Amino acid sequence: MTSNAPYPPALDAGLETERLSQTIKDWSIANGLAVRPPPALVGQNQDPKGILAINAPVTLFPSPFPKSCFEEAKAIQTNYNELYARISQDEEFLGRLVQEVAGGDDFIAKLWEIHLKVKEEGYVQNLSLGLFRSDYMVHQDGDHLQIKQVEFNTIASSFGGLSAQTSLLHQHLSKTEYPLLTTPIPPNTLNLPPNTSAHSLAAGLRAAYEAYGPSILNHPTCILFIVQDGERNIFDQRHLEYSLQQSSIPVFRLPFSQLLTHTTLSPTPLRQLLYHLPHNPSQIFEVAVTYLRAGYGPNDYPTPSSWLARRRIETSNTIPCPTILTQLAGMKKVQQVLATPPGPSTLAKFIPDEEKSSALWRTFTNIYPLDSSSPAGREARRLATDPKECLKYVMKPQREGGGNNFYKGAIPEQLKKVPEEHWNSFILMELITPPAVQNTILRQGKLEQGGVICELGVYGTCLWDHKTGQVKHNEEAGYLLRTKGDQSEEGGVAAGFGCMDSVALV
């Protein structure tokens, strides 16, 4: 990308824009860069056979992203994998934080309750698998650019499948369409790094599958994807499934709501998790790995049987991705404790290597508790309730997925609705100031042009023995770039806020 050329180039509002948009729409459907349409688009119950698909929202051009920041984020991912693997093994540490937030968060309290019940019964599987994603934004402080972590995801880290396809889309356009624009971008001008997120995440699942070994019950083994009913982001998940199936690994999908119906536990001390094919229940597979793309929020647990389903996974011999303890390690409270003084000493407890811990520490932004007992918490309460000071912050509950946070002026209003003794179930994070970027988003056939904000996610896969602490697999696993209009506060693609993107390194 030449330094004096405007990027992205301006498009005329007629045939040029129409041609590029149509190429993206066709390529996306042909290559699985797609989602199921929302009911609001097609009408309620208008796709009962599940035959419709639409383009995933995507940018017309890869967004410029600082090369140094991109490389730093990828380089430290294995350190982050190691950190969260170790946190998940520290039951005392997690239990203390759960107690701090559980009074105002029934969901976290219930997860911990399931863990305690399974612990009493006796865990039978020592291996844990994490398919992680660490999310960052570039923070601009004068001329200095640095990555700052937004959050760390330990369950259902999505879009690895669609992200790889987005990178391929932009690479395709850079060879076929961008050189033909009125303001052309010659081939090989853009620095578009490869993205192996789908393949690399599948490799993490494959490592756990191989570590599980053959069935002692002489059943064929499989990987079971636990998904939500009416999953719209199905193609993202399918890309991982297809990659696994190319290695001749049986993979099945099962809605979380049907887990108790189609699985049983073997009557053996190891309590193997057995999957009975719905169309042929006499055909039984032993579940080597259970990959949760559901179960990350309260809406996935509408009935007591939902909690029994989660308990069945935890109490069995399947390798869960993730365990409840690993899911709890992803609480925003953990992120806050690591980043708040005496954060460095807390971090060093898990990562004693000074070089590694310093690299992680540099990515932290200012995060505060909202308790009433600590000096940091009392100061955060003052900031969160001040009409001017609160404009610099976002308040987060202990939740995965988009649409859960409270920004700026909405913070004091939300706190008025929450009893003060439950404020400590939130954390207060200083807003990150990203550099200005321009792009155009294609969403449901319509173009949205203007300023955008980019959020980089780096995937990681980690397999460890929580009894011995031995890490058996630890890899960086590709990236995700999500982009939203600069007037939007949330960034989740599945939640309808952001779109898929890829990086053009600068």
CA distances from 131 to 76, 149, 210 (A): 15, 17, 16
Candidates 88, 157, 158, 306; catalytic one: 158
Q: Tokens for 101?
A: 């937030």
Is 311 catalytic? The answer is no
Catalytic residue, candidates 95, 103, 401, 485? 401
The residues pairing with 200 across neighbouring beta strands, listed in sequence order, are none
Task: Report the run of H or E that residue 505 belongs to, with start and end.
Answer: strand 503-505
| Residue 388 among the catalytic residues | no
Catalytic-labelled residue, pool 74, 88, 148, 151: 151
Six token digits for residue 195: 């993205």
> Please, are residues 73 and 65 in contact by the beta-carbon 8 Å criterion?
no
Identity of the residue numbered 306? S
392 catalytically annotated:
no
Q: What is the dihedral of CA 250, 85, 158, 231, to 10 degrees?
A: 60
Q: Let me know if 157 is a catalytic residue.
A: no
Choose, from 74, 86, 133, 484, the residue flagged as catalytic: 133
Q: Is 133 a catalytic residue?
A: yes
Residue 151 appears among annotated catalytic residues? yes
Catalytic residue among 396, 399, 402, 460: 396
Output the six-digit token pair for 306: 């939902």
Distance of alpha carbon 482 from alpha carbon 427, whole angstroms: 23
Which of 82, 100, 241, 400 is labelled catalytic?
400
Torsion sign (Cα): 62, 63, 68, 72: negative
* Both tokens assigned to 492: 């989740």
Active site residue 482: yes
Tell me how far apart the alpha carbons of residues 471 and 275 are, in angstroms, rounded to a whole number.
28
Q: Which of 153, 163, 257, 425 is catalytic?
A: 153
Cβ neighbours for 468, distance < 8 A, ≥ 6 positions apart: 126
Angle at 253 between CA 251 and CA 259, to 5 degrees: 120
Which one-letter amino acid corresponds to residue 504?
Answer: A
Catalytic residue among 332, 333, 356, 381: 332
Residue 231: partners with Cβ closer than 8 Å, 6 or more residues away: 36, 237, 293
Largest CA distance in the chain: 70
Q: Which of 424, 482, 492, 502 is catalytic?
A: 482
Catalytic residues: 133, 151, 153, 158, 332, 396, 400-401, 482
